[in-house]
């Protein structure tokens, strides 16, 4: 554990007190809030795959291993981005940027989590779930963070594939296999991610500009961003309805997807109109879409699970 950040002297003549990283700092490296939704899509996918109770032991194993894998991805993201994270207000306090946790210690922690996750899934779930989890980790760390994030505004669309793996992990943990419906879950998150992220990016674009990260609103401005958000919201809603026609889900899911999707389109449209009318992006129109995007995904996946467990 490192002791390389010092607290300010507590009084004249008193020694500087070294600050030790605690378990809370290590926890912060794993991006727990983001993981909560990633795990939600994993666990609900398990219910969808099982069309019933997937088993307590499997739920516990996949929750712990899923957290460890996504957490490990967050750790490596914070190691790689520690230079730019330090320059943005939102991320400056991250333990890898402030120096509270050294790169070496963070790398050991992140590697241990990833190995632990892979072994747990392989032994107690299924090998395919372990591979899917590793694929999500590599897409986030290598494709998104190392390769695309600092190079192209397509970073979110392509790199966003990382966040689509959790339902595949859950599905493969239950069935040992992946079917077309599981890939639909992947695709729904794939098209949802730009809506989620660009709504937020509109509000924090100046920070990204400062550090030279080419997010869409920085490179092409607010108008193209809201147009793209609208397009991706339409793709998401259309895709979310398709499993109904494949008869993978029934009326309960259909109604839910329709209502939830309608609200996603309505909020995207409101943001689109606001920006196209020549107004500056205001928090009061962008925040509701950003927050709703997360509720949308969480409820859509619950609807899928409830439909397949209780009705399907």
Q: Given the rule CB under 6 A, which residues bind ligand HEM?
A: 33-34, 36-38, 41, 90, 144, 156, 159-160, 163, 189, 193, 196-197, 200, 294, 297
Q: Residue 49, interface with ligand FPP (CB under 6 A)?
A: no
Q: How near is the Cβ of 36 to ligand HEM at its closest, in Å? A: 6
Q: How far is the CB of 251 from ligand HEM (least distance, A)?
A: 25
Which distant-in-sequence residues (6+ apart) come within 8 Å of 147 by Cβ? 159
Burial string for 206-241 (b: 16+ CB within 10 Å, else e) reads ebbeebebbbbbbeeebeebbebbbebbbbbbebbe
**What gap in Å lies between CA 181 and CA 268, rounded to an integer?**
26
Query: Smallest Cα–Cα separation from 195: which of 95, 289, 298?
Result: 289
Q: Out of 73, 216, 249, 275, point to the residue binding ligand FPP (CB under 6 A).
A: 73
Q: CA-to-CA distance for 9 and 173, rounded, in angstroms?
A: 52
Q: Is 205 in the site for ligand FPP (CB under 6 A)?
A: no
Can residue 30 be called a binding residue for ligand FPP (CB under 6 A)?
A: no
Question: Using CA of residue 57, residue 60, residue 64, residue 70, what is the dihedral sign?
Answer: positive
Contacted entry of ligand HEM, ligand FPP, none for residue 274, CB cut-off 5 to 8 Å set by kind: none
From 169, 188, 229, 286, residue interacting with ligand FPP (rule: CB under 6 A):
169
- In the complex with ligand FPP, the residue whose CB is nearer, 129 or 268, is 129
Examine residue 26 and tell whether it contacts ligand FPP (CB under 6 A).
Answer: no
Residue ranges in 103-179 assigned as alpha helix (H): 103-124, 127-138, 155-159, 165-175
Please give the residue whose beta carbon sits closest to ligand FPP in the complex: 136
| Helix/strand/coil percentages in the chain, nearest 5 | 75, 0, 20
As beta bridge partners, residue 130 has: none
In sequence order, the 6+-apart residues with CB closer than 8 A to the CB of 304 are 44, 48, 185, 243, 249, 253
Instruction: Give the shortest CB-225-to-ligand FPP separation in angstroms.
Output: 15
State which of positions 82-141 bind ligand FPP (CB under 6 A). Answer: 91, 133, 136-137, 140
Cβ-based nearer residue to ligand HEM, 122 or 294: 294
Q: What, of ligand HEM, ligand FPP, none, does residue 256 touch, CB below 5 to 8 Å by kind?
A: none
74 contributes a contact to ligand FPP by CB under 6 A: yes
115 or 218, CB closer to ligand HEM?
Answer: 218
State the minimum distance, in angstroms, from the CB of residue 251 to ligand FPP.
31
DSSP state of 309: I
Q: How far is CA 203 from CA 94, 184, 264, 290, in A?
A: 20, 30, 18, 10
162 binds ligand FPP (CB under 6 A): yes
- Residue closer to ligand HEM by CB (options 160, 243) is 160
Count CA atoms closer than 13 A to 143's CA, side-chain side: 17
Binding partner of 294, given ligand FPP, ligand HEM, none, CB within 5-8 angstroms per partner class:
ligand HEM
Helices (H) and strands (E) in the chain, counts: 14, 2
* Interface positions with ligand FPP (CB under 6 A): 31, 34, 38, 69-70, 73-74, 77, 81, 91, 133, 136-137, 140, 162-163, 165-166, 169
């Amino acid at each position: 554990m490192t002791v390389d950040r010092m607290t300010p002297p507590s009084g004249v003549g008193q020694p500087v007190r070294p600050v030790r990283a605690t378990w809370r700092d290590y926890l912060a490296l794993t991006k727990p809030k983001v993981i909560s939704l990633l795990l939600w899509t994993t666990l609900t996918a398990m219910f969808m795959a099982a069309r019933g109770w997937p088993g307590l032991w499997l739920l516990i194993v996949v929750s712990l291993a899923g957290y460890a894998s996504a957490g490990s991805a967050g750790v490596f993201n914070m190691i790689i981005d520690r230079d730019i994270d330090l320059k943005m207000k939102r991320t400056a306090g991250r333990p890898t940027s402030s120096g509270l946790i050294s790169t070496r210690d963070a790398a050991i922690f992140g590697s241990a989590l990833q190995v632990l996750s892979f072994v747990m899934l392989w032994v107690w779930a299924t090998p395919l779930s372990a591979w899917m989890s590793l694929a999500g980790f590599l897409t986030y760390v290598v494709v998104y963070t190392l390769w695309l994030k600092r190079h192209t505004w397509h970073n979110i669309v392509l790199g966003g594939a990382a966040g689509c793996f959790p339902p595949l992990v859950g599905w493969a943990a239950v069935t040992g296999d992946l079917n077309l419906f599981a890939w639909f879950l992947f695709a729904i998150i794939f098209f949802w991610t730009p809506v989620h992220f660009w709504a937020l990016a509109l509000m924090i674009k100046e920070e990204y500009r400062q550090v030279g990260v080419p997010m869409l609103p920085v490179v092409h401005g607010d108008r193209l961003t809201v147009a793209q958000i609208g397009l991706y919201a339409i793709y998401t809603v259309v895709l979310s309805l398709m499993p109904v026609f494949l008869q993978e889900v029934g009326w309960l899911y259909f109604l839910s997807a329709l209502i939830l999707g309608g609200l996603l389109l309505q909020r995207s449209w409101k943001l689109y109109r606001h920006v196209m009318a020549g107004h500056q992006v205001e928090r009061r129109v962008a925040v509701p879409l950003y927050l709703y995007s997360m509720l949308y995904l969480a409820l859509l996946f619950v609807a899928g699970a409830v439909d397949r467990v209780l009705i399907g």
